[in-house]
Amino acid sequence: MPHYDLNFSPFSSNEVGSVKLVELTPDLITLIENAIRDHEDLSLTIKGQPNEDAVLCTYDRTFNMRSIGLSNTFLVVTPIPDEHASKFADDALAIRDQVQEVIELIPCVPKLHKLTGLLRERQYDDATEDERDDDDGAPRFTYDDAKAEIQASHAELDKGLRDRRILVINNELRPITSAYLSRLLELILNMLVSLSMKHASASVEGLTSALADDHEVPRMISTQIMSWFGELKDGRWKMDVEAVVRQVGLGILRNHRASHEPVPEDELLSMWKGQIGDTFESVVSVKLLEGNYIEAETYDFHDTLKRLRYFPSADLPVDPAARFSDLFLTRKRWKAEQISPFLSDIAVNSKERDKLLLKYCRTVTEGRNVLYTARAQYNG
């Protein structure tokens, strides 16, 4: 075994705390090894504002960074700098730093919730919005700003913008209003019929031109919306039928918030099918709206009619404790299939979701049903 003469570096007092050890997950090790083997560029980015916990992002995943103390101290050693080498033995090494903790990486959901606040005053409402006064005083938030500030990988950010229906207009992010989006989807469905186009292979140029000429919808807007609700390839659009049907259903359900009367399920389905049309009415199902509604409770035991109220998971807190507090203030007992859709955006996978349920809930059995109740008492 080789022996070395250890000495403190002349610069050790200035270098204390300059080295951090990161424990890589197996997936990250494979990612790095493959990039080295294939001579590919690899980007690992640490993101976070001074008031935020840091995250590490690959191209398509986000990891929380958590400091874990070590029982043993690691020494970071290097050869003696050449200008000082003559003062030390040939086998001397310089102690540059001491490490007493390691940074653990934990897969997490992308932290996209900041987009809501940053873009609240920038909604895109109709085809004339892009002609607004550039000096209207409202702050701009660009796609480049989002890549730098939002704690999410590039792939997760792009998916988050699509899922949140946020347009990119001249690099600026603009969330489209739900009412205008519903109107545009209805126009697209009507155009498919009037132009005798098949929804599985519609002409992108034909649809965008018709929308621009007949309804003054800018091509950049209609093209982005089509990309949200299907696949664009070789000038053709393959519509994602379920995604379109779901969005139209949400547009109807959104009119029945907590401050409004709940909508009977059969009435919702009837209105929904009417807006979708005969071609796609077989796809209509309340299951498509999971995570966006709750069943209104009734105290009339003879009333078996199911009534739904708009209750989107996107409006709930992202902190697990706060989210469970809101859920149990809304309803004291939940079935597994009722509560699970409201946890999908704060849990990386089903295993993580089950851990959250175990931490924040108690289970009670009622007949053949297993129900979740709060571990803590939440007072309204």
Q: Tens digits of per-residue pLDDT, 186-206?
A: 999 999 999 999 999 999 999
Q: Span 141-169, mean pLDDT?
A: 96
Arithmetic mean of pLDDT over the chain: 89
Q: Is the pLDDT of residue 130 over 80?
A: no
Read off the pLDDT band of 126 (50, 70, 90).
confident
How far the first Cα of the chain sits from its last, in Å, is 68
DSSP letters for 193-223: HHTT--TTSEEHHHHHHHHHHHH---HHHHH
pLDDT in the model for residue 166: 97
Q: Where are the beta strands (DSSP E) in 266-311?
A: 293-295, 307-310
Tell me which architecture the domain covering 5-108 has in CATH: Sandwich (2.60)
Read off the pLDDT band of 139 (50, 70, 90).
confident
Q: Span 115-135, mean pLDDT?
A: 74
Domain boundaries, the chain: 5-108, 114-242
What percentage of the chain carries pLDDT values higher than 90? 71
Q: Where are the alpha helices (DSSP H) in the chain?
A: 12-15, 26-37, 114-118, 143-149, 154-163, 178-194, 204-215, 219-228, 241-253, 265-276, 320-330, 336-339, 350-360
Ramachandran angles phi, psi of 269, nearest 5° = -60, -40
How distant is the alpha carbon of residue 199 from its chain centre? Answer: 28
Read off the pLDDT band of 97 (50, 70, 90).
confident
Is the CB of residue 29 less than 8 Å from the CB of residue 22? no
What are 231-267's pLDDT values in tens digits?
Answer: 999 999 999 999 999 999 999 999 998 777 899 999 9
Q: How far is CA 94 from CA 76, 77, 102, 283, 355, in A?
A: 8, 5, 21, 69, 46
Q: Is the pLDDT of residue 212 over 80?
A: yes
